[in-house]
Structure formats: C-alpha cells, structure tokens
Amino acid sequence: MRPLSFNIFHYNIVATKKQVFWLFILSLVYIFLCLWYNFTMRICSVKLTNYRNYQDASVSLDTGITMLSGKNGQGKTNFVESIYFASTTKSPRTSDLSDLVLDGKDGARAEFEVERNFGKVNIQFVISKKGEKQFFINGNQVSKLSEVFGNLVVVYFCPQDLRVVSASPDVRRDFMDTDITQLSGSYYNLLVRYNKILMQRNKLLKFEKDRESLERQIEVWNEQLASTASLIIKTRKGFIEKLKEPTNEAIKFISSFKDELKMEYVGARGTTAQEIKEELLKSLKYNLDRDIELGYTSIGPHRDDIYFELNGKDARNFSSQGQQRSIILALKFAEMQILRDEIGESPVLILDDVFSELDPSRQKKLYEKMSEFQTIITGTNFKFRPESEYKKLNVTLGVIKERKA
C-alpha cells in the first residue's frame, strides 16, 4: 500500500491509508473527550529572573484558586503581568519593555510550565535591557510572535478594565483585539500588516503635495488597506456576535434580571469580507479631501468602536458607575465562555486587585464563577475566604512565600 505524506505542526508525517483512518478516529475520540470532560488549562509553575522587582522567584500554582496578597508596591501586579505577557506578548501597563527588566540587570527571563488537554507546554520569554523580546516554545525560539498565541490563554481583569464602557474607543478596540489574537495568530498578522499599510497611506497623505500624483498613488494603498481591513472587521464582527448572548445572560445574572444589555460593532457596513471591502473603498474615496486636510486616514478598523446599550439607552452616557462595572463583569464572564468554547478547555482567570473595586454582591457573583477556572487573585487584604480549597501566597519586595490558608 502506497504511503501518504502530509504535514502536521511542522512535522512531516508518512502513513498508510489505514493508519490515516485510525488517526482520524482517534482525533474524533480526542475532540469528544475534550468537550465531555471540559478540560481546564493550568499554569503549573512560574519562574521569574530579573523581571521587574523579582530577582529570582519560583512558584508552583494549584489547579483551583491561588490568592496572592501583599502591601502595595511589593510585586503582586508584576507577577500576574508576567503571565499576561507570556499569553499576549505585551504588557497591560507599558509599551516600553525595558521597564520589565530589574534595574542594573542586562535582561529579564521568565519561564512557565502550562498543562493543556494535549500535554504540557513550556513557554519562555527573554527581554533585553533595550526592550527587545524573544519567545521560546518547548525550548524552540519562535520566528514569529503569532506562534506564541494560543499556548497560554488568559482572561485578565484589572481595575483599568472597569473603564472599558466609558473610556475612548481605542480601549474597546484593544479589548477585542487581545481576545481574538489569543485565539488566532493569523489575526495578529493581519493587524501587523494593516498598521504597515496604514502608515504608508498616512505618510502619502501628509507629505505628497502634488494632488494628481497623490490620487494616482493612493489607489494602490486604498486597495491594500480595504482588503486587509475587511478581514479584520469581519473577524471583529463575528467576535461581537458571539459575545452578545452570553454577555446579556451574564448581566441578567449579575443584576438579578434588572438589566438588559445590547452591543453592536460600529464600523463599515457589510457581512462578507467583499461587502465590507467595497464599503471601505467607497468611504476612502469619499473622505479623501478630509484625509488630505487632516494628514491621516480617518476611517477603518483603527477608528471603529463598540456600542453598548443598557436598558434601551447609551451606556456611556446613561449608566451609573455600578452598572458600568456590571457590564465589564458580564463581558469577562462572556469572554471566559467564548474562549472555553473555542479552545475546548477553560482559560486561566487573573483577577488583579479587582475585588476592592466591586461591591459585595458583584464579588459574590464573580466568586461563583471562579470554581470553573484556574484563578489567580491579587489583593492587599482579602475579606472573603473561598469555600473550596485554595492556595495562599504572600509577596514582600519581590519574594513570594506560601502561607497557611
């Protein structure tokens, strides 16, 4: 029997038709087991070297809840930031990665052992004092950052997230892009490509003074921009559609059925990538005079937004601070569900100093969801104690020690 040759995860596989058949059957069984048993992703251990204020720290984490306490400025947020960085390749706090390196050191290193439904994954990153980053998956350096995404998936909740409803649109775009990127490295590549094209178009708008030359050149950039942008917008719209129902169900759960939430993606019209592309091309042409005057591109996914409507009114202008906190809490619940459905296992939940920002009723609702995920909570003082088993850690000046629960 003539063998078949195909490629899986960069490995060349040679097998007979019979072997391929049984591989297919085993794959179906594996998928069934993932769905049936609802695997939970778990960080087994974290090792930090010269990261922020951690000179040398090694910590093992439990499957359930880990509570990390300590006074302000001791390193609680630094610790969970490193986990977020390993998942998303970026910091939620700074764009200058040299800030992540301990003062006086040449670079920072972090290592994470992650347990997945298919086995263990080792993730490492190195940051130089110049702010250059390198990632390694199972000991192999990645050539593209997109190869990092999906190895460790987290839902990160910090006090700054409570601004998502009231903040500027770029905060809401980042919320979408961060989640989608964790599910798709190709989406990250789209964002990188789009930003490069956008930069070239903006450069042309700003510096080309000959109108005829500009119009001739801009057509090329419009085509490239619209093609890439249409894929980004289509993906974002699909993400928001998936969020709608679980977010509304979550806010009903949080408010005891007092509130109802609707959300829509605000951007180019259209359902298919082709429809969105055609709409963008028309808008780019129509807005050319305005773009020339401004010196930059005024429409596209870099300007899009999410519209939240709470009980029939614009949530940005007609919701209380408490209601806005309910909205973001509902979004986090929905994130967890969507990510779990997409990857076949529960992501890691990180709650960074967020309990102090929530009233007791919202704390209780959030606690009820914790048991479904590996959860890492930071805070200065925990007034509640989980009913289930949990691990308690304390951090002082970058030194983490286990405490009795």
pLDDT at res. 20:
65
Q: Does position 142 have pLDDT exceeding 70, yes or no? A: yes
What Cα–Cα distance (Å) separates residue 66 from each residue in 102, 137, 238, 280, 372?
25, 25, 34, 47, 13
Q: Does position 28 have pLDDT exceeding 80, yes or no? A: no
Average pLDDT over residues 267-278: 97
Rounded CA-CA distance 70/391 in Å is: 14
Give 38-70 as a DSSP string.
TEE-EEEEEEEEEETTEEEEEEE--SSEEEEE-
pLDDT at res. 294:
96
Q: Does position 303 have pLDDT exceeding 90, yes or no? A: yes
pLDDT at res. 7:
45
List helix spans (H) across 184-267.
185-207, 211-255
pLDDT at res. 2:
53
pLDDT at res. 6:
45
Q: Dump pLDDT digits (tens) for 51-106.
A: 999 999 999 998 888 999 999 999 999 999 999 999 999 999 999 999 999 999 99
Q: Dump pLDDT digits (tens) for 1-20.
A: 555 554 443 334 556 767 66
| pTM given for the model | 0.86
Of 106, 150, 169, 358, the closest CA to residue 254 belongs to: 358
Q: Which two tokens stand for residue 81?
A: 């930031």
Rounded CA-CA distance 125/325 in Å is: 33
Rounded CA-CA distance 361/259 in Å is: 15
| Torsion sign across C-alpha atoms 79, 80, 83, 85 | negative
* Range from 317-331, 359-373, 387-401 carrying the lowest mean pLDDT: 359-373
Average pLDDT over residues 161-179: 93
Q: In the chain, pLDDT over 70 holds for what percent of residues?
A: 89
Q: Does position 22 have pLDDT exceeding 90, yes or no? A: no
Average pLDDT over residues 165-192: 94
Range 227-231 contact pairs with CB under 8 angstroms and sequence separation of 24 or more = 227/277, 228/190, 228/193, 228/194, 228/197, 229/194, 229/268, 229/276, 229/277, 229/280, 229/300, 229/301, 230/268, 230/270, 230/273, 230/274, 230/276, 230/277, 230/280, 231/190, 231/273
Spatial contact of 335 and 179, defined as CB atoms under 8 Å apart: yes
* Range from 29-38, 85-94, 318-327 carrying the lowest mean pLDDT: 29-38
Please enumerate in sequence order all residues whose Cβ is within 8 A of that of 133, keeping only pairs 6 or more positions apart, or say none. 89, 97, 125, 126, 127
Of 281, 279, 280, 301, the closest CA to residue 195 belongs to: 301
Give 62-98 as a DSSP string.
-SSEEEEE--TTSSHHHHHHHHHHHHHSS-SS-S-GG
Q: Which domains does the chain have, with CATH numbers?
A: 4-37 (no CATH), 39-150+353-361+374-405 (3.40.50.300)
Range with the largest mean pLDDT of 15-24, 35-44, 264-273, 347-356: 264-273
Please enumerate in sequence order all residues whose Cβ is within 8 A of that of 228, keeping only pairs 6 or more positions apart, or say none. 190, 193, 194, 197
| Average pLDDT score over the chain | 90
Please enumerate in sequence order all residues whose Cβ is within 8 A of that of 135, keeping only pairs 6 or more positions apart, or say none. 89, 123, 124, 125, 141, 142, 145, 147, 148
Spatial contact of 393 and 69, defined as CB atoms under 8 Å apart: yes
- Residue 344 per-residue DSSP state: S
Rounded CA-CA distance 247/331 in Å is: 5
Q: Does position 186 have pLDDT exceeding 70, yes or no? A: yes
Beta-bridge mates of residue 305? 266
Rounded CA-CA distance 194/279 in Å is: 17
Rounded CA-CA distance 388/63 in Å is: 11
Q: Is 201 exposed, middle or buried (0-12, 13-18, 19+ CB in 10 A)?
A: buried
Spatial contact of 359 and 280, defined as CB atoms under 8 Å apart: no
Angle, alpha carbons 133-172-240 (nearest 5°): 105
